[in-house]
Amino acid sequence: MANVTVIGAQWGDEGKGKIVDWLASRADAVVRFQGGHNAGHTLVVGDQVYKLSLLPSGIVTGTLSIIGNGVVLDPWALKAEVEKLTAQGVEINPDNFALADNCPLILPLHRDLDGLREAAAGTGKIGTTGRGIGPAYEDKVGRRAIRVCDLAHLDTLGSQLDRLCAHHDALRAGFGQPPVDRDALVAELREIAPFVLQFAQVVWKRLQTVRKAGARVLFEGAQGVLLDVDHGTYPFVTSSNTVSGTASAGSGLGPAATGFVLGIVKAYTTRVGSGPFPTELTDATGQKLGERGHEFGTVTGRKRRCGWFDAVLVRQSCAISGVTGIALTKLDVLDGFEKVRICTGYRLRGKVLDYFPSYAGDQAEVEPIYEEMDGWHGTTAGARSWADLPAQAIKYIQRVQELIETPVALVSTSPERDDTILVRDPFLD
């Protein structure tokens, strides 16, 4: 039995929640390994809808769910999410939920700094969610973060607070803001500490025990490869590595444990916030994709930009992350289009490219080269086998996997868990 690592292969919002939920019902443990509560997963189980930001998707099915050290944790957001899910009938306790004790915290001062920077950036806005994710990661690598384990030792936090506040006070002064209120911050941490600490564990050790027992582990990524801080559309990226290799560093298990890499790929392309988007459609077709796909962010509610499928970007994402197979989602959104288009390359100042360049200026200038295919008149919604799909839809899927040089493992045809065509079982690879 293989472990499975799930990542988004576009700019996030590919439908990872449904796929992870579907896989989680067959896993023994689910691990979030990067990101923060800017991630949004919507799960539809029967007539119940669950919206998750921090908690791994396995929590809904009662699967052991773990937040790894690679995540930055807002303890107040965690408490709110636990309370909301508990009210929906989901049981969450230290037996089925564990939080890495070396996980860095997102503090109110991080949210403040995030908002101040975006407000001052003008046209140079990155388009962050304003939840303090970036500043928290900065403090982590700057070695001044407060971590989950520190909540049990708040009385001895003086020197760490000195480093943290010296940094943030200088930044806040630049924005005309008062210094950090240290006493208020410690009081807030003291109040939230008992809630957080009940779930705190040595996660790498628990995962070793799980793995030695032969259990199947599902690693759950947030955002998408095109938002990776190294490999994404920099600087319009998130503040963590979103590629599959992060599953190892962000959980405490070695790289051999990550197993089958499943890249989630939407049948068209969307993006939230600022940044380059070669196939973006600002016309009626783009509007139609957005309306039919209900393209609004789970966390922010922001409208997503929509465009045709970009095979160049997805091929690049799959190569960088070593994707074994893809899960193609939201195929039903393309039902009824007379023609569908796929981007197969770019033109940049007269030169044809088969990759997305790193330089931001070039990224903004590339023009998509399209291949056009006939659409289909039948419906793919709710299909659970190839026989349920229109012939032209199958041709579209086949062309996608040819262009991205990666096979299709799953096809999702609605938000419902069971409306899934299984081509290749990641857990049995």
The pLDDT-based confidence of 126 (bands split at 50, 70, 90) is low
Residues 404 and 407: their CA atoms lie apart, in Å, by: 8
Q: Is pLDDT at 233 greater than 70 in this prediction?
A: yes
Tell me, what's the pLDDT at 123? 67
Selecting among 13, 21, 112, 150, the annotated active-site residue is: 13
Tell me, what's the pLDDT at 77? 96
Partners of residue 48 on adjacent β-strands: 45
Tell me, what's the pLDDT at 301? 65
Q: Which tokens sit at 309?
A: 């499928």
Q: Is the dihedral of CA 23, 27, 29, 34 positive or negative?
A: negative
Instruction: Return the CATH class of domain 108-196.
Output: mainly alpha
Selecting among 37, 41, 167, 168, the annotated active-site residue is: 41
Other C-beta atoms closer than 10 Å to the C-beta of 273 total 18
In residues, how long is the chain? 429
What pLDDT digit, counting tens, does each position of 175-195 carry?
999 999 999 999 999 999 999
Do the beta carbons of residue 243 and residue 306 sit within 8 Å? no
Tell me, what's the pLDDT at 198? 98
Mean pLDDT score, 102-107 = 98
Share of the chain above pLDDT 90, in %: 78
41 annotated active-site: yes
pTM comes to 0.91
Tell me which CATH code domain 265-428 carries.
3.90.170.10
Share of the chain above pLDDT 70, in %: 97
Q: Which of these ranges, 99-113, 261-275, 296-310, 391-405, has the smallest mean pLDDT?
A: 296-310
What pLDDT digit, counting tens, does each position of 133-161 carry?
999 999 999 999 999 999 999 999 999 99
Tell me, what's the pLDDT at 179? 97
Query: How is the chain split into domains, by residue range?
Result: 4-102+199-260, 108-196, 265-428
Residues 285 and 163: their CA atoms lie apart, in Å, by: 52
* CATH topology identical between 4-102+199-260 and 108-196: no
Mean pLDDT score, 224-248 = 94
Q: What per-residue string of b and e applies to 256-266 under the rule 16 or more CB within 10 Å gives b? A: ebbbbbbbbbb
Q: Which of these ranges, 80-84, 233-237, 298-302, has the smallest mean pLDDT?
A: 298-302
13 annotated active-site: yes
Average pLDDT, rounded, for the chain: 92
Do the beta carbons of residue 306 and residue 295 sit within 8 Å? yes
Tell me, what's the pLDDT at 314? 98
Tell me, what's the pLDDT at 67? 97
Tell me, what's the pLDDT at 121? 75
What's domain 4-102+199-260's architecture?
3-Layer(aba) Sandwich (3.40)
Q: Is pLDDT at 253 greater than 80 in this prediction?
A: yes
Burial label for 143, CB within 10 Å (0-12, 13-18, 19+), is: exposed
Q: Is pLDDT at 417 greater than 80 in this prediction?
A: no
Q: Which of these ranges, 235-239, 309-313, 402-406, has the smallest mean pLDDT?
A: 235-239
